[in-house]
Chains A and B, each alone.
Chain A
Amino acid sequence: MNQLLEGLTLSDLTFYLVAALTIVSAAGVVFSKSIVYSAFALLGTFGGVAGLYLFLAADTIAIVQIMIYVGGILVLLLFAVMMTHKIESVDVTSRSMDLHKALPPAVVLIALIGVIAKKTEWKLLKAPDDNPITAKLGDAFLGDYLLPFEVASLVLVVALVGAVVMARREVKGDFSRKAEKESE
């Protein structure tokens, strides 16, 4: 045990803790019986992935991950959970879990990724740069990657307007019905 721990620095230990948190909460999302538990386990996964970004010296992406995934998408998901299930019946959810149908594709997938990862020779092109990248990222977005950046903003606007249009109630019909009643 001591020999095992000898080559382990504090940074390695933290990495394995964060990785374990990510994978365990991901499993919690998928295998949990209650949908509310799934939503809260997703919080652990998003936080763990943000921590892994910090290990990769991707500070901007880590902050964006917390702001958008935890602050936006997770809250949206929780709202949807509360709106589609009455609070008291929250633990009676998604019954059929057909694991033997799901396991073969997942095993094949992970074997495929593993074989490709083993056969390819990964090497560092340059020594990785562990300095903050926010300024360089901003320059890249307003320079080389200006078109993808603008297209992304257009996609977001269209998606948000479309979401509002789809999720709103039909107000028009109610108004005309009310008007009919009043005229009667």
Chain B
Amino acid sequence: MVPNEQILGLAAVLFAVGAIGFVARRNVLIVLMSVELMLNASNLALVGYGRLRAALDGHVFAFLVIAVAAAEAAVGLAIVIAVYRRRRTANLDEVKTLRN
């Protein structure tokens, strides 16, 4: 069977890749995809820990995280569409009305 350390290490790597994308890319959609990657990594770690404890709470929390991720994707993409309709851009650096 798969050792838990490998699952946790995999989740850490996945989270780091998502973090790189979140910081480095300037397209809103890629940033949203990177957030989804990080949420997936945290879910993987939660289920891994739940298996370590032989209890159900890891699965329950993974479920709740998936629900929040769905809500985040819906609201985030609605904001992207609204901003694009007004500004004709999906680049984060060009949306700076609230800066200063």
Query: Is there contact, CB below 8 Å, between A122 and B26?
Result: no
Query: Is there contact, CB below 8 Å, between A94 and B30?
Result: yes
Report B67 CB to chain A, min CB distance, Å. 4
Chain B residue at minimum C-beta to C-beta distance from A99: B24
Known interface pairs A19-B6, A30-B20, A35-B27. Does A166 touch B82 (Cβ–Cβ under 8 Å)? yes
In the bound assembly, the distance between CA atoms of A122 and B67 in angstroms comes to 29
Task: Bin chain A's interface residue count.
Answer: 35 or more
Is the CB of A17 closer than 8 A to any CB of chain B? Answer: no
What does DSSP make chain A's interface, helix, strand, loop or mixed? helix
What does DSSP make chain B's interface, helix, strand, loop or mixed? helix
Residues of B whose CB lies within 8 Å of any CB of A are 1-2, 4-10, 12-21, 23-27, 29-30, 32-34, 36-37, 40, 43-44, 47-48, 50-54, 56, 59-60, 62-64, 66-75, 77-82, 84-85, 90-91, 93
Residues of A whose CB lies within 8 Å of any CB of B are 11-12, 15, 19, 22-23, 26-27, 29-30, 35, 38-39, 42, 45-46, 49, 52-53, 55-58, 60-61, 64-65, 68-69, 72-73, 76-77, 79-81, 83-85, 93-99, 101-103, 105-106, 109-110, 113-114, 117, 122, 124-130, 133, 136-137, 140-141, 145, 148, 152-153, 155-156, 158-160, 162-164, 166-167, 169
